[in-house]
Amino acid sequence: MNFPYFIGLNIFTATVFFAFCAWLYFFLYMIKSFKQSPRLKSKKYNINNYPKVSIIVPALDEENNISKCLDNLLDQDYNNFEIVAVDDSSSDMTGEIMQVYRKRNPKKISVISASPKPVDWIGKNWACYQGYINATGEIFVFTDADTIMSSPSTISLAVSYLVEEKLDALTGRPSIIAHSIWTKITLPILWTFSHVKYSALCVNKTRSRSSYLFGCFYLINRKTYESIGTHKAVKNEIVEDVALGKKIKQHKFKLKMVRAEDQITTLMTGNFMSLQEGLKRSINLIPFYHNDLTNIWVMFVLLLEPFILFPFSCHFLLTHYDNLSEVLFAINIMTIILIISINATQLVIGLLLNPIYALLCPIACALVSISFISSIIKARCGGVTKWRGREYIVNRSVMDRQFLY
């Protein structure tokens, strides 16, 4: 046997076997997370004496969503809440629509026009902070303008869960409405990664360092929020939900995550370019985080190599047909089948979408890996990334971002 061929085939086999083992672990852990994570279920609670809740809704250019959001929140059956709608310097009719709702419901809705943000603040963080300054409740519910509560009792259930479990903070994993085909084919991979790195099974353990808040829906009591420094403590973080979750755990407060796919839905829209920017923002979802070079290698081996190597493994099998080429082909094909199966499972159970999109997972793997790798390189070298129409300098640290405009 040709020695270089033998060495190369062994390396390919070893790396693909690593990918197979990793994806098998992802699949088993994802299923375990689905089965064992607590759910935000319908349950009768006595909510008459529960504290006042402030629902804070930051919105930037959300004229297509804000009316539905506010109507939905006004329909909530919790009997002691206010809505603090924050217009984050929108260039469309978002602020005007908010004012119409305020005039119709002056006792329930207050509208805040966020003042010009300081240069070292991220836009959404500043809007959330402005909402906090004007909120009067004992418990804060942070949600997005494109998020909908699927039941009139969602806020009641969440507050009840927070109170009954004696929690300091609670977040719910939502279902996602995806209109773009690009979103439908990439979400399963991201959602699988989130189950692995930020599963409720880890987040809910008091001694675990794992923490996460879904930015579209989380509750936190005033004392806890102020103790961790409010959004001011994470003012320059693009991924503020991750940063806030870390603050909660670092200060030894009690945080829980629940599955709330049947209670909360959030919209994910955008064209191909906005999807790319969103993927770059999600770099924190990488399951194996060590350093930049390790992450690049892991992303390549997990997401790209199984598909790139497939035609070569077929070629090796047809031209050499030895035991090693057979092993490489077998592991390669099993890895691809496993990746497709994981995507299909996540589409059906976690995202409530058609599993047919799993067949496009090679494209999804390419998009996700390229976005992650480019983000790592940009964080290492310094560069500018865009998010929600704004530009940010990406510093050496992935979680250290500075506001530009």
Q: Rounded mean pLDDT of the chain?
A: 85
Decide if pLDDT at 98 tops 80.
yes
- The per-residue pLDDT for range 270-319, each reduced to its tens digit, is 555 556 566 655 655 566 555 567 777 888 899 999 999 999 889 888 88
Whole-prediction pTM? 0.86
Sheet holding 264-268, edge to edge: 147-149, 264-268, 175-178
SS3 content of the chain, % helix, strand, coil (to 5): 55, 15, 30
- The per-residue pLDDT for range 68-82, each reduced to its tens digit, is 999 999 999 998 999
In this structure, the number of other CB atoms found within 10 A of the CB of residue 47 comes to 17
CA dist 71 → 52, 152, 264, 298 (Å)? 19, 11, 15, 45
Residue 230's pLDDT band (cuts 50, 70, 90): very high
The position carrying tokens 């050496």 is 396
pLDDT score for 119? 85
pLDDT score for 353? 84
Q: Where are the domains of the chain?
A: 53-182+202-267
- The per-residue pLDDT for range 141-153, each reduced to its tens digit, is 999 999 999 999 9
pLDDT score for 398? 39
Decide if pLDDT at 396 tops 60.
no
In this structure, the number of other CB atoms found within 10 A of the CB of residue 5 comes to 14
Amino acid code (one letter) for 277: E
Class of domain 53-182+202-267 (CATH, top level)? alpha beta
Residue 403's pLDDT band (cuts 50, 70, 90): very low
Decide if pLDDT at 174 tops 70.
yes
